[in-house]
DNA sequence: TGAGCGTATTTGTATAGACAACCACGATGG
DNA sequence: CCATCGTGGTTGTCTATACAAATACGCTCA
């Protein structure tokens, strides 16, 4: 077995037993000295841990044991911001764009609607602690573009309720995981080694049951954990 | 921008335009000479392609192009289903191990049980079309080891129902995504560029509500999609 | 003919050294 | 008191060399 693999295994064990989230590992040259290997070999070992998602590198700072994922309950009809503010994390929403466009063929087929159905598409970025964590494309039905342009921050669903009296129920939700695209890496400020969770959510009006929103969210997989209650 | 990144980008383009799956790249020393870099730098570039799932290494043979670039567009909703048996795919369960052990501290704290609670741990591998797709660790409470050893294939829950009359309700389910470990890559026969979905499920007895099973499943992220109905 | 061996080729691992890029933090100066 | 600069420490990248391990393939020999 390769030296770097055995070192990686040992470091994994030590991290699990002796470190907590956010701790910095000893500097590489020190670990290299301890294991009696070249720094390159030790880096190769740490690469394994980074690949496992156990450690993150910070140039000029050190190698950090990653934090535990944030819990995000899915079953609650409440929306995203509600769940996170409960945890006391500073949450911020940045609107990246807002415009009206036709639904498009793909979504049209999925939602069984005409392709030229007008929707207002709002792209937002959710930041936790000023770090981007989720990118969302909201597709909103039966809303006014000019009105929606006035949405700038906070909870979109609260804005919709105040503007239109819309009250939403969560419909079918689909989750999948994949690696981020190049653009998403930049927008989420992550490397290409961190997977993302892609979630498609439907929201229906509480009154009529009509489709109100189809949202596609791309979240950092290393930050979130999703729970489904029976 | 780092040299190895620019080389990786160029190689990516060349692979897309000039290679088909199965082709071997030129040997590393040759590519290194062509790009006027050290072989290590070139290897670092190829590492990127391996990480992307574009290339596989074969010691003593060469670096092979795996497949055409992956299209991450959500435009193909047809592809993945969470219910695969419905699709008529040959589904198989292989038992990797079955033994009794104490619950352990981590799970004990999570489940609020004594750490020395005896559980029967069954490790299985779900195969679709004879390809491994999911690894599962079943932690079973109040069952007999000898009896459980007789489980060899099929549905575990059906086996439990026939053996003990246990009927299960799904309890809290937690989903997260991460990159596979070294071992999981081997067991699932995937490269290191494909994320996995890790799901923790609780099952309770329909009668008493007592915890019957705690299951941890690791699934190939490129094969599954999960849906949550309201 | 066929099995086995040896050799060339290719990737895998490890070492060593050098410098760049980046960050935290204290010292300095206004 | 605050902004700025510098410096030391840490990770990031690149080069150079050497040998190990695995494979393919031709050659030899029975």
pLDDT of residue A98: 93
pLDDT of residue B1: 74
- In total, how many domains does chain B have? 2
Flag whether pLDDT at A71 surpasses 70: no
Count of beta carbons in the 10 Å neighbourhood of residue A127: 16
Give me the helices (H) in chain A, please.
3-18, 28-35, 39-52, 80-85, 105-111, 145-148, 156-164, 182-188
DSSP 8-state class, residue B85: G
- Here the tokens at position B6 are 């620019």
Helix (H), strand (E) at residue B12:
helix B3-18
- Here the tokens at position A28 are 């590489």
Quickly list DSSP for B31-78. HHHHHTS-HHHHHHHHHHHHHHTSEEEETTTEEEE-SSPP---TT-TT
Q: What is the mean pLDDT of residues B113-124?
A: 92
Residue B194 lies in a domain: yes
Q: What is the mean pLDDT of residues A16-34?
A: 86
pLDDT of residue B81: 31
Which residue, of A41, A65, A89, is where some domain finishes? A65
The answer to whether A99 and A120 have CB atoms below 8 angstroms apart is: yes
Q: Is A54 in the same domain as A83?
A: no
Strand-by-strand arrangement of the B211-220 sheet: A70-73, A224-228, B168-178, B196-205, B211-220, B131-140, B118-128, B91-102
Burial class (CB in 10 A: 0-12, 13-18, 19+), A80: buried
Strand partners for A118:
A102
**Closest residue to A195, CB basis, from B48, B179, B181:** B179
The answer to whether A200 and A178 have CB atoms below 8 angstroms apart is: no
- Asked if strand C comes closer than 7 Å to B69 Cβ, the answer is no
Q: What is the CATH number of the domain that holds A118?
A: 3.40.1410.10
Confidence of residue B13 (pLDDT cuts 50, 70, 90): confident
DSSP 8-state class, residue B23: P
A57 nearest nt, CA–C1': D11
For residue range B36-87, list pLDDT tens digits in order: 999 999 999 998 888 766 788 888 888 888 654 332 222 222 223 333 333 3
Q: Is B99 in the same domain as B35?
A: no
Can you give the distance from the CA of residue A22 to the C1' of nucleotide D15 in angstroms? 34
Q: Is A58 in the same domain as A77?
A: no
B100 alpha-carbon distance from chain centroid: 24
Residue B72 lies in a domain: no
pLDDT of residue B181: 72
Confidence of residue A149 (pLDDT cuts 50, 70, 90): very high
What is the domain extent for residue B50?
3-65
Residue B225 lies in a domain: no
Q: Is B44 in the same domain as B106?
A: no
Rounded Cα–Cα distance for residues A168 and B142 (Å) = 43
Residue B94 lies in a domain: yes
Q: Is B16 in the same domain as B121?
A: no
pLDDT of residue B72: 26
Q: What is the largest CA-CA distance in chain B?
A: 71
Q: Is A33 in the same domain as A118?
A: no
Q: Is B200 in the same domain as B110?
A: yes
Flag whether pLDDT at A118 surpasses 60: yes
Give me the helices (H) in A86-214, please.
105-111, 145-148, 156-164, 182-188
Rounded Cα–Cα distance for residues B105 and B90 (Å) = 38
Can you give the distance from the CA of residue B72 to the C1' of nucleotide D24 in angstroms? 37
Residues of A in contact with B177 (CB under 8 A): 177, 195-197, 221
Flag whether pLDDT at B192 surpasses 70: no
Average pLDDT, chain A: 82
Rounded to 5 degrees, what are φ and ψ at A54? -90, -25
- Asked if strand D comes closer than 7 Å to B78 Cβ, the answer is no
First-to-last C-alpha distance (Å) of chain A? 45
Residue B226 lies in a domain: no
Rounded to 5 degrees, what are φ and ψ at B214? -125, 115
Strand partners for B97:
B123
Rounded Cα–Cα distance for residues A91 and A82 (Å) = 10
pLDDT of residue A182: 64
Residue B97 lies in a domain: yes
Flag whether pLDDT at A128 surpasses 70: yes
Q: Which residue has the tokens 């897309």?
A: B16
Helix (H), strand (E) at residue A134:
strand A131-140
A35 nearest nt, CA–C1': C14
Q: Is A111 in the same domain as A59?
A: no
Sign of CA dihedral A41, A46, A49, A51: negative
pLDDT of residue B91: 62
- Asked if strand D comes closer than 7 Å to B60 Cβ, the answer is yes
Count of beta carbons in the 10 Å neighbourhood of residue A193: 20
- Here the tokens at position B48 are 């990127």
Q: Is B52 in the same domain as B142?
A: no
Q: Is B106 in the same domain as B198?
A: yes
For residue range B129-184, list pLDDT tens digits in order: 667 888 999 999 999 999 999 988 777 888 888 888 888 888 888 888 887 776 77
Average pLDDT, chain B: 79
Which residue, of A65, A92, A119, is where some domain finishes? A65
Helix (H), strand (E) at residue B6:
helix B3-18
For residue range A165-189, list pLDDT tens digits in order: 888 888 888 888 887 776 777 788 7
**Percentage of residues of chain A with pLDDT beyond 70:** 84
Which residue has better confidence, A70 or A4?
Answer: A4
Which residue, of A65, A94, A114, is where some domain finishes? A65
H, E, C per residue of B137-189:
EEEECCCCHHHHHCCCCCCHHHHHHHHHCCCEEEEEEEEEEECCCHHHHHHHC
Q: Which residue has the tokens 């804005």?
A: A159
Flag whether pLDDT at B99 surpasses 60: yes
For residue range A188-216, list pLDDT tens digits in order: 877 667 788 999 899 999 888 899 999 99
Q: What is the mean pLDDT of residues B27-35?
A: 91
- Here the tokens at position A51 are 């690949």
Chain C nucleotides reached by a protein CB under 7 Å:
8-17, 21-24
pLDDT of residue B79: 28
At A227 the three-state DSSP class reads strand
Q: What is the mean pLDDT of residues B26-36?
A: 91
Q: Is A170 in the same domain as A192?
A: yes
Size of interface A-B (CB pairs under 8 A): 99
Q: Is B33 in the same domain as B110?
A: no
- Asked if strand D comes closer than 7 Å to B58 Cβ, the answer is yes
The conformational region for residue A31 under phi > 0 = left, psi -120 to 50 = alpha, else beta, is alpha
Strand-by-strand arrangement of the A211-220 sheet: A91-102, A118-128, A131-140, A211-220, A196-205, A168-178, B226-228
Residue B49 lies in a domain: yes
């Amino acid at each position: 077995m390769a030296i770097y693999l055995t070192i990686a295994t040992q470091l994994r064990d030590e991290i699990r037993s002796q470190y907590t989230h956010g701790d910095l590992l000893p500097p590489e040259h020190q670990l290299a000295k301890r294991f009696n290997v070249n720094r390159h070999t030790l880096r190769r070992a740490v690469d394994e841990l980074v690949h496992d998602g156990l450690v993150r590198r910070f140039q000029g700072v050190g190698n950090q044991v990653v934090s535990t994922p944030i819990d995000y309950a899915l079953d609650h009809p409440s929306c995203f911001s509600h769940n996170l503010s409960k945890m006391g994390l500073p949450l911020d929403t940045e609107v990246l764009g807002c415009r009206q466009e036709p639904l498009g063929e793909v979504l049209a087929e999925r939602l069984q609607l005409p392709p030229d159905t007008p929707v207002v598409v709002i792209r937002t970025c959710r930041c936790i602690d000023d770090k981007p964590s989720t990118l969302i494309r909201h597709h909103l039905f039966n809303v006014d573009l000019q009105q929606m342009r006035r949405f700038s921050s906070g909870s979109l669903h609260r804005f919709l309720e105040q503007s239109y009296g819309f009250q939403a129920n969560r419909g079918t939700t689909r989750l999948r995981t994949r690696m981020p695209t190049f653009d998403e890496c930049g927008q989420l400020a992550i490397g290409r080694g961190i997977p993302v969770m892609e979630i498609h959510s439907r929201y229906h009006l509480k009154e009529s049951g009509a489709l109100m929103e189809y949202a596609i969210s791309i979240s950092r997989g290393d930050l979130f954990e999703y729970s489904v209650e029976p």
